[in-house]
Structure 1
Amino acid sequence: MITFNNIHRIGHHIYENETYHHYHYPEMLVRYDSNFLQFKKVPTLEEFKEAYSYLRDFHLSKGQKHVKFYLPENEKPDKQLMNYLKDHSFEVGFLELYKIQPKDFPEAAPQADIKLELISEKNLSTFLRLHYEQDVAFGIDFADQKIDLNRRLFHDPSIEMVLAYFNGEPAGSVTLIHTEHTVEIDHLVVEDKFQRKGIGTELQRFVMKRNLHKTVILVADGEDTARNMYRKQNYECIGVQYEIQKID
Structure 2
Amino acid sequence: MITFNNIHRIGHHIYENETYHHYHYPEMLARYDSNFLQFKKLPALEEFKEAYSYLHNFHLRKGQKHVKFYLPENEKPDNPLLNYLKDFKFEIGFQELYKIQPAEFPKADPPADIKLELISENNLRTFLLLHYEQDLEFGIDFADQKIDLNRTLFNDPAIEMVLAYWKGEPAGSVTLIHAEHTVEIDHLVVEDKFQRRGIGTQLQAFAMNRNTGKTIILVADGEDTARDMYRKQNYQFIGFKYEIQKID
Q: What is the TM-score of this pair, normalised by structure 1?
A: 1.00
Q: Verify: 1:223 aligned to 2:223, yes or no.
A: yes
Query: How far did residue 111 of structure 1 move?
Result: 1.1
Q: Verify: 1:39 aligned to 2:39, yes or no.
A: yes
- 1:93-143 residue CA offsets vs partner (Å, 9 max, x unmatched): 000000000000001112110000100000000000000011001111110
Which consecutive aligned stretches of 4+ in structure 1 deviate over 4 angstroms post-superposition? none
Give the Cα separation in 2 of the matches to 1:11 and 1:73: 19
Q: 1:101-120 counterparts in 2 under 5 A?
A: 101-120=101-120
Deviates more, 1:108-117 or 1:21-30: 108-117
The equivalent of 1:62 in structure 2 is 62
- 1:32-69 residue CA offsets vs partner (Å, 9 max, x unmatched): 00000000000000000000000000000000000000
Partner of 1:37, secondary structure, is strand
Query: How far did residue 13 of structure 1 move?
Result: 0.1
Give the Cα separation in 1 of the matches to 2:108 and 2:153: 31
Query: How far did residue 77 of structure 1 move?
Result: 0.5
Give the Cα separation in 1 of the matches to 2:244 and 2:219: 16
Deviates more, 1:103-112 or 1:11-20: 103-112
Give structure 2 stretches of 5+ with no counterpart.
none
The equivalent of 2:96 in structure 1 is 96
The equivalent of 1:158 in structure 2 is 158
Q: How many residues align?
A: 248
The equivalent of 1:214 in structure 2 is 214
Q: Percent identity?
A: 83
Q: 1:1-248 counterparts in 2 under 5 A?
A: 1-248=1-248
Partner of 2:86, secondary structure, is helix
Give the Cα separation in 1 of the matches to 2:110 and 2:147: 31
Give structure 1 stretches of 5+ with no counterpart.
none
Give the Cα separation in 2 of the matches to 1:174 and 1:109: 19
Q: What is the TM-score of this pair, normalised by structure 2?
A: 1.00
* Matched letter for residue 145 of structure 2: Q
Partner of 2:21, secondary structure, is strand
Give the Cα separation in 1 of the matches to 2:69 and 2:219: 16
* Matched letter for residue 119 of structure 1: I
